[in-house]
Amino acid sequence: MNRIAVYPGMFDPVTFGHLDIIRRGAALVDRLIVAVAVNIEKKSLFTSEERIRFLEEAVNGIPGVEVCRMDGLLVDFLRAQNAGVVLRGLRTVSDFEYEFQMAGMNRILHPGLETVFLVAGEAFQFLSSRLVKEIAGMGGDVSRFTPPAVLPELRRRMMARLERGPG
């Protein structure tokens, strides 16, 4: 039996916290698909193609991990991939409240689906893509939080935003 899990997210940008969950999750299954979500409701700093490229470089060498674009409902993507497990990372109690609700709804839409929660490693419990963008946007060093491939483009985009000003 092939255990296939999907780790969905925006990954805008990918952080070392995401990579921690990916490494640990990959050890639990035969195949882990990192699904880069395309959400027209959310304005991303990076395109889906850029996020996929950053992730592919970051997960290179982690056995059993692949990166895919995901449009639409997670449950539809899971069915298309023959995956029966959703992998999610938790940092805070508020993460759990949201993820618990999503897990229940996904299970209604896809009976038999299991959601596996991994608690963020201690070094990553404070880390989020939003905070990385905020720090970079104020000229801060985010090299401890995100892979090297992301850094030049993140700095360039955030500096361009600073030059444009609010709005």
Answer yes or no: are the C-beta atoms of 57 and 149 closer than 8 Å. yes
Answer yes or no: are the C-beta atoms of 124 and 91 closer than 8 Å. yes
Choose the catalytic residue: 18, 51, 88, 133.
Answer: 18
Choose the catalytic residue: 42, 43, 144, 164.
Answer: 42
Q: Write down the H helix ranges in 38-128.
A: 48-59, 74-81, 93-109
Which two tokens mark 115?
Answer: 């959601």
Choose the catalytic residue: 88, 110, 129, 133.
Answer: 129
Choose the catalytic residue: 31, 91, 107, 155.
Answer: 91
Active-site residue flag, 110: no
CA–CA dist 71, 121 (Å, integer): 29
Which two tokens mark 107?
Answer: 């299970």
Active-site residue flag, 18: yes
CB atoms within 10 A of CB 120: 20
Which residue in this structure is represented by tokens 């640990």? 24
Burial state string for 25-40 with b = 16 or more CB within 10 A and e = fewer than 16 = bbeebebbbbbbbeee
**Which amino acids are annotated catalytic?**
18, 42, 91, 129
